[in-house]
Amino acid sequence: MEVRKPVIKSIPYDEFKDNAGLEKIIDELHEGGCNVVVGSLDQAINWGRSNSLWSLTFGTSCCGIEFMSVGCARYDFSRFGFEVTRNSPRQADLIMVAGTITHKMAPAFKRLYDEMAEPKYVVAVGGCTISGGPFKTSYNVVKGISEIVPVDVYIPGCPPRPEAILYGMMQLQRKVKVERFFGGANHKQTSEERLLGLSNEAISAGWKKPMVVADAPEDFVKNIKKEQEDAK
């Protein structure tokens, strides 16, 4: 069964800037073919999952303020399907990390990640989260959360613009839409696999391949600004 290209309503497929990386992920995930029945169920379930991503917000500094602005009426990210946030890791699909992570905070962050149900995702927002930012030489700062958990989407910036955060979440939606849900994301781990401490995605298809948001497409940014002007 041929895997369809993920469709995001707000941006045409060809306008995304990293289609080559996504297509490589698709090839690796579906190497050896895909059953027609299971593949069709995957597409239906992943359509629903990608349009209802509930986030556990872990904002520790200024990038967290940018995420709050994305949720307000000016940018209105509810129209994209990820407006619901949860304060419990048990109810969240992803954890959005926005800000500096210190070594003292790292165990609490890792514990929250471990408590999330599979399939789960990580979005790293801002330079401090990705690499430690201007504090990377400090003795008490973690030099990127990838040292603690696997990251699905990197959104660089100091802080990143709201349009970049929206674009990054759309990249995660695309990634979810091409996953193998049956036997992949919802794979029941054996006792030996649990000892490895890896996610289902890591066990079934190697370590997660992260997606990096370089810049949001110009047309997308212009459309967002036009909508804001029209709303005034």
Query: What CATH number does residue 107 fall under?
Result: 3.40.50.12280
pLDDT band at 205 (very low <50, low <70, confident <90, very high): very low
Q: How confident is the model at residue 204 (pLDDT cuts 50, 70, 90)?
A: low
Show the domain range for 135: 19-231
Q: Would residue 204 count as lying in a domain?
A: yes
Question: How large is the angle between the packed helices 19-29 and 162-177, nearest 10 degrees?
Answer: 30
Residue 70 inside a domain? The answer is yes
In a domain, 14, yes or no: no
Residue 8 within a domain: no
Average pLDDT over residues 155-184: 80
Evaluate whether residue 85 is within a structural domain.
yes
Q: How many domains does the chain have?
A: 1
- 78 burial type by CB count under 10 A (0-12 exposed, 13-18 middle, 19+ buried): exposed
User: Regarding predicted confidence, which is higher, 90 or 184?
Assistant: 90
Query: Which of the two residues, 207 and 91, has the higher pLDDT score?
Result: 91
How many whole angstroms separate alpha carbon 92 and alpha carbon 19?
A: 27
Question: Is 12 part of a structural domain of the chain?
Answer: no
Residue 5 within any structural domain of the chain: no
Cβ proximity of 153 and 210 under 8 Å: yes
For residue range 16-75, list pLDDT tens digits in order. 777 776 666 666 656 655 555 555 666 677 777 777 788 888 888 888 888 888 877 788
Among the listed residues 69, 93, 229, the one whose alpha carbon sits nearest the alpha carbon of residue 164: 69
Q: Which residue has the tokens 């002007």?
A: 229
Is the bond preceding residue 89 a cis peptide, omega within 30 degrees? no
- Mean pLDDT, the chain, rounded, equals 76
What is the arithmetic mean of pLDDT over 113-140?
A: 87
User: Which one has a higher pLDDT value, 208 or 106?
Assistant: 106
In this predicted structure, what is the pLDDT of residue 210?
Answer: 66
